[in-house]
C-alpha cells in the first residue's frame, strides 16, 4: 500500500465549472518561465458522479525537475527536464523559454512543441500542446485555446498574469504553468481522470502548494519528491447539502455510518474559507460570508476518499 498523504486543497473539476475569474486588474511584471532549478509535482485522479457529488480517488503522482543542464537540438539551445524522484531522474524532454513562450522537444522526438504562450492577449487563439497521457508517458496532443480574459494574482510578493481560457477550468499562471499540472490537459476527459498541480518550487522557494494554490508569499523549501498517494476503496456515502442554492447558510447532513475526517469550503481561487472536523456527527452547519457565486464543498473521509459538491450562493 502506498504512503498516505493528506489532501487539503479543493480543486475544480472541469465538468463542474466555468473558467476562474480573478478580479485583480493591476499591472503585472513579466515573469520568465523557469527552465532550471525548478520542480513541479502533478497528481492524477479519477472520479465518478453520484447524486450531485463527485467522489475522487487519487491514482498517481509524478514529478518534473528542471535540472539546468544544457543540451542542443537542431542547433538550438535547450535545458533538460527530467521525470524525477528523491533518488533518481530520467530524461523527459528538452525545454526552452523565449519571449513569453515555452517550447519542449519530448524524449525520442525532434519536433518542437509550443506548450505555453504568455504573450497572448484577450480574444487571441493559439495552438498549444498538452500532455494527454498517464504518468511516465510523453504523448502530447494539440489543442486550440482562446484567451477569455487576463488578470493578475499575487505570487511571492509580486503580481503575475493569469490567463483564463475559454471552456477550460484551470487557468495558466505566468512563471508557474497550469493549475492542472505541468503540461497537462486543463479539463477532465472521457476516461474520467484529471490532473492537478500539487506543488511548484523554484530556486528553493515554493510558489504553489496544494493547500493554498498560488502563494502570495513564497515558502522556503523545495517541493517534496517523496509524495505518493493512497489507493482507498470507493465507498457509497450518502451526503446531503440543503438548501442549495442558498443565501449563504446551508447544512451538510451525513446519513452514513462512515466517519468524516474534514469538511472544507473553498472559493474558485482554491483559497480555503473554512474547515472543520465532523467525525460521526449527523450534520454540520455553514455560514458563508463571501460574495454570491460558486464555491466548492470538499468532504474527506478517514479512508482518504474525497467528495466534492458545487455550492451556489445567490
Is pLDDT of 313 > 50?
Answer: yes
Structural domain contains residue 84: yes
Residue recorded with cell 440543503: 242
Long-range contacts (CB closer than 8 Å, 24 or more residues apart) made by 85-92? 85/225, 85/226, 86/225, 86/226, 89/65, 92/64, 92/138
How far CA 244 is from CA of 49, 73, 97, 168, 295, in Å, comes to: 17, 55, 45, 24, 11
Pair 243, 144 in one domain: no
d(CA 95, CA 107): 11
Pair 177, 45 in one domain: yes
Pair 161, 252 in one domain: no
Pair 216, 244 in one domain: no
pLDDT at position 27 is 54
d(CA 69, CA 71): 7
Q: Which of 6-15, 119-128, 200-209, 275-284 has the lowest mean pLDDT?
A: 6-15
How far CA 54 is from CA of 67, 112, 126, 166, 239, in Å, comes to: 37, 37, 32, 23, 11
Q: Which of 48-57, 64-73, 100-109, 285-294 has the lowest mean pLDDT?
A: 48-57
Kindly indicate the confidence band of residue 228, based on its pLDDT and cuts at 50, 70 and 90.
low
Pair 153, 51 in one domain: yes
Structural domain contains residue 119: yes
Structural domain contains residue 234: no
pLDDT at position 47 is 65
Written as one string, the DSSP assignment of 157-208 is TEEEEEEEETT-SSPEETTTEETT-TTB-SS--TTSEEEEEEEEEETTEEEE
d(CA 209, CA 62): 15
d(CA 132, CA 194): 10
Close Cβ partners of 57 (under 8 Å, ≥ 6 residues apart)? 45, 46, 47, 231, 232, 234, 305
Pair 67, 204 in one domain: yes
Instruction: Work out whether strand 213-220 and strand 205-209 pair parallel, antiparallel, or are unpaired.
Output: antiparallel
Structural domain contains residue 85: yes
Structural domain contains residue 171: yes
Which residues on adjacent β-strands are paired with residue 196?
A: 43
Pair 132, 44 in one domain: yes
Pair 182, 277 in one domain: no
pLDDT at position 16 is 39
Pair 98, 247 in one domain: no
Structural domain contains residue 284: yes
pLDDT at position 311 is 85
Kindly indicate the confidence band of residue 187, based on its pLDDT and cuts at 50, 70 and 90.
low
Structural domain contains residue 8: no
Pair 197, 270 in one domain: no
User: In which domain, by residue range, is 105 found?
Assistant: 38-220
The count of residues in the chain is 314
Q: Last residue of some domain: 220, 255, 289?
A: 220
Kindly indicate the confidence band of residue 302, based on its pLDDT and cuts at 50, 70 and 90.
confident
Q: Is 143 helix (H, G, I), strand (E, B) or coil?
A: strand
CATH number, domain with residue 304: 2.60.40.1930
Average of pLDDT values for 121-138? 81
Q: Which of 112, 34, 120 is nearest to 79 (CA)?
A: 34
Pair 192, 257 in one domain: no
Domain count, the chain: 2
Pair 140, 279 in one domain: no
Structural domain contains residue 274: yes
Amino acid at each position: 500500500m502506498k504512503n498516505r498523504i493528506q489532501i487539503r486543497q479543493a480543486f475544480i473539476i472541469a465538468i463542474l465549472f466555468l473558467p476562474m475569474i480573478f478580479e485583480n486588474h493591476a499591472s503585472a511584471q513579466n515573469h520568465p518561465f523557469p527552465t532550471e532549478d525548478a520542480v513541479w509535482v502533478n497528481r492524477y485522479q479519477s472520479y465518478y458522479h453520484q447524486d450531485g457529488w463527485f467522489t475522487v480517488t487519487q491514482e498517481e503522482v509524478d514529478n518534473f525537475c528542471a535540472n539546468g543542464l544544457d543540451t542542443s537540438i537542431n542547433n538550438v539551445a535547450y535545458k533538460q527536464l527530467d521525470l524525477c524522484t528523491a533518488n533518481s531522474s530520467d530524461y523527459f524532454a528538452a525545454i526552452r523559454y523565449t519571449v513569453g513562450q515555452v517550447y519542449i522537444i519530448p524524449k525520442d522526438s525532434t519536433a518542437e512543441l509550443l506548450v505555453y504562450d504568455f504573450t497572448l492577449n484577450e480574444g487571441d487563439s493559439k495552438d498549444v500542446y498538452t500532455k494527454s497521457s498517464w504518468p511516465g508517458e510523453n504523448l502530447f496532443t494539440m489543442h486550440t485555446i482562446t484567451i477569455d480574459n487576463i488578470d493578475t494574482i499575487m505570487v511571492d510578493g509580486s503580481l503575475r498574469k493569469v490567463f483564463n481560457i475559454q471552456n477550460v477550468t484551470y487557468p495558466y499562471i505566468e512563471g508557474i504553468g497550469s493549475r492542472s499540472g505541468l503540461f497537462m490537459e486543463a479539463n477532465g476527459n472521457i476516461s474520467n481522470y484529471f490532473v492537478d498541480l500539487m506543488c511548484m518550487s523554484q530556486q528553493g522557494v515554493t510558489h504553489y502548494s496544494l493547500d493554498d494554490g498560488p502563494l502570495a508569499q513564497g515558502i522556503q523549501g523545495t517541493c517534496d519528491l517523496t509524495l505518493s498517494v493512497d489507493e482507498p476503496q470507493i465507498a457509497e456515502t450518502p451526503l446531503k447539502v440543503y438548501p442549495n442554492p442558498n443565501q449563504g447558510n446551508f447544512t451538510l447532513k451525513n446519513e452514513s455510518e462512515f466517519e468524516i475526517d474534514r469538511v472544507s469550503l473553498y472559493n474558485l481561487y482554491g483559497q480555503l474559507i473554512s474547515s472543520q472536523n465532523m467525525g460521526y456527527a449527523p450534520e454540520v452547519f455553514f455560514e458563508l460570508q463571501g460574495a454570491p457565486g460558486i464555491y466548492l464543498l470538499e468532504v474527506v473521509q478517514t479512508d482518504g476518499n474525497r467528495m466534492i459538491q458545487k455550492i451556489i450562493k445567490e
